């Protein structure tokens, strides 16, 4: 576009859950609600406009075997973009994806550095594998490398027990979280089971990924402390298959995984009802493909979260939680256009009409 060329979005601009405008303009890659003077070449897109969707648990640069080459990372990011995901919180990756920041056609990424796990207690080639005495030092390093987040592996299968078990002593977690906070970073943790949660929350953690182990006695603690959860229900759907594959060797673990899966919707709804912040994340990039954000929003609705709140968990609320703007004056023009009202039916998210990133139509 020339200097006088602008992009014009018209229809229903969903600035917030209760704020709707009729049109917006894109000037210099940023949003304006005032028609620019002297605009001659105007490209108009019409429909229902949402802020670029957020996937708050995604892994660009990672597949089932570990780090991937840049061309594969690019395909992952493009798959997310095509699905309308324009902001990703990368919840742990061994790959250096900083080069993506220089690409205006790829989603924006907030990185949590590389996973930090206990020795031989996580997926091979994914994490720094260390012992508790080294946790603070590694958290400090990843806090400096990331974009305001650090990712711990809070629990994983203990081969001696044959079941999920907490990875970190309470005092180690407490010291590590305090160090991250001192450095200005928030901390999240992968947690499937029950027994790591109380220690992590009381140690000051900011978020729990998956959170399938939430119980009635723990939910009020999460709500009181304001600890968010990212349920990744599209990933939890794989638990029965995982259990079947490991049952012969670890029957106790397999039975536990099935129980967590069976009560997954009740767990999420109980957390939401208690006031626990819930956000959308897909866990794409491990064994799951990218571009699943619409499916995850639909899963939250299936769990019993009202559609407007499920939509907010990938748009307005998610962006506020991550400190990134939505459809506000002067914000980067990152938005998605739909043919129908996604507030009425979240399944609309699966079919973006137009995707606009940094003020340019990219899909």
- Kindly report the average pLDDT of the chain as a whole number: 96
- Reported as a single tens digit per residue, the pLDDT across 168-204 is 999 999 999 999 999 999 999 999 999 999 999 999 9
Report d(CA 209, CA 192) in Å as an integer: 8
Percent of the chain residues topping a pLDDT of 90: 95
Q: Please state the domain count of the chain.
A: 2
Same domain, 334 and 252: no
Rounded average pLDDT over 255-273: 98
Report the phi/psi class of residue 338: left, alpha or beta, with left for phi > 0 and alpha for psi in -120 to 50. beta
Residue 2 pLDDT greater than 60, yes or no: no
pLDDT of residue 39: 73
pLDDT of residue 41: 72
Residue 3 pLDDT greater than 70, yes or no: no
Report the phi/psi class of residue 47: left, alpha or beta, with left for phi > 0 and alpha for psi in -120 to 50. left
Same domain, 235 and 306: yes
Rounded average pLDDT over 331-343: 98
Same domain, 73 and 61: yes
Secondary structure of residue 43 in the 3-state scheme: strand
Residue 66 pLDDT greater than 50, yes or no: yes
**DSSP code per residue over 302-334:** HTT--HHHHHHTTTHHHHHHHT---S-TTSB--
Structural domain that includes position 27: 6-50+326-361
Closest to 192 measured CA to CA, from 149, 243, 143, 147? 243
Report d(CA 148, CA 319) in Å as an integer: 14
Q: Within a domain: residue 174?
A: yes
Q: Within a domain: residue 290?
A: yes
Same domain, 350 and 219: no
- Reported as a single tens digit per residue, the pLDDT across 153-173 is 999 999 999 999 999 999 999
Q: How confident is the model at residue 37 (pLDDT cuts 50, 70, 90)?
A: confident
CATH number at residue 83: 3.20.20.140
Q: Within a domain: residue 1?
A: no
Same domain, 226 and 192: yes
Residue 261 pLDDT greater than 50, yes or no: yes
Report d(CA 186, CA 146) in Å as an integer: 10
pLDDT of residue 5: 76
Report d(CA 6, CA 42) in Å as an integer: 5
Report d(CA 154, CA 164) in Å as an integer: 10
Same domain, 14 and 83: no
Same domain, 283 and 246: yes
Secondary structure of residue 103 in the 3-state scheme: coil
Secondary structure of residue 360 in the 3-state scheme: strand
Same domain, 88 and 236: yes
Residue 308 pLDDT greater than 60, yes or no: yes
Same domain, 114 and 41: no
Same domain, 163 and 111: yes
Q: Within a domain: residue 249?
A: yes
350 secondary structure, DSSP code: G
Same domain, 160 and 171: yes
Same domain, 21 and 61: no
pLDDT of residue 4: 62
Measured between alpha carbons, how far is residue 187 from residues 148, 150, 173 in Å? 9, 5, 10
CATH number at residue 338: 2.30.40.10
Secondary structure of residue 77 in the 3-state scheme: helix
Percent of the chain residues topping a pLDDT of 70: 99
Q: Within a domain: residue 271?
A: yes
Residue 42 pLDDT greater than 90, yes or no: no
pLDDT of residue 1: 40
């Amino acid at each position: 576009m020339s200097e006088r060329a602008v992009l014009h979005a018209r229809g229903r601009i969903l600035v917030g859950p209760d704020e709707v405008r009729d049109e917006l303009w894109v000037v210099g890659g940023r949003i304006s609600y005032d028609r620019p003077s002297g605009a001659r070449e105007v490209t108009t897109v019409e429909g229902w406009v949402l802020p670029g969707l957020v996937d708050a648990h995604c892994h660009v640069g990672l597949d089932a075997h570990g780090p991937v080459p840049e061309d594969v990372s690019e395909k992952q990011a493009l798959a997310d973009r095509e699905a309308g995901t324009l902001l990703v919180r990368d919840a742990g990756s061994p790959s250096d994806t900083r080069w993506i920041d220089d690409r205006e056609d790829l989603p924006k990424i907030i990185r949590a550095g590389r996973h930090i796990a206990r020795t031989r207690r996580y997926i091979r080639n994914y994490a720094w594998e260390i012992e508790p005495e080294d946790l603070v030092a590694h958290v400090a390093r990843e806090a400096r490398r990331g974009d305001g987040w650090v990712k711990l592996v809070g629990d994983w299968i203990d081969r001696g027990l044959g079941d999920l078990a907490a990875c970190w002593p309470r005092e180690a977690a407490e010291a590590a979280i305090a160090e991250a906070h001192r450095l200005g970073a928030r901390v999240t943790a992968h947690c499937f089971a029950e027994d790591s949660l109380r220690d992590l929350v009381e140690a000051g953690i900011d978020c729990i990924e998956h959170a399938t182990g939430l119980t009635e006695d723990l939910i009020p603690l999460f709500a009181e402390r304001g600890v968010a959860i990212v349920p990744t229900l599209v990933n939890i759907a794989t638990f029965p298959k995982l259990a079947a594959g490991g049952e012969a060797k670890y029957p106790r673990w397999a039975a536990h995984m099935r129980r967590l899966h069976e009560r997954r919707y009740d767990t999420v709804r109980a957390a939401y009802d208690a006031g626990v912040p819930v956000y959308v994340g897909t866990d794409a990039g491990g064994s799951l493909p990218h571009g699943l954000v619409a499916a995850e929003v639909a899963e939250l609705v299936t769990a019993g979260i009202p559609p407007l709140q499920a939509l907010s968990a990938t748009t307005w609320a998610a962006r506020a939680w991550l400190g990134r703007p939505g459809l506000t004056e002067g914000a980067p023009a990152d938005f998605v256009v739909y043919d129908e009202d996604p507030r009425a039916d979240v399944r609309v998210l699966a079919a973006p009409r137009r995707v606009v990133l940094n003020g340019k139509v990219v899909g």
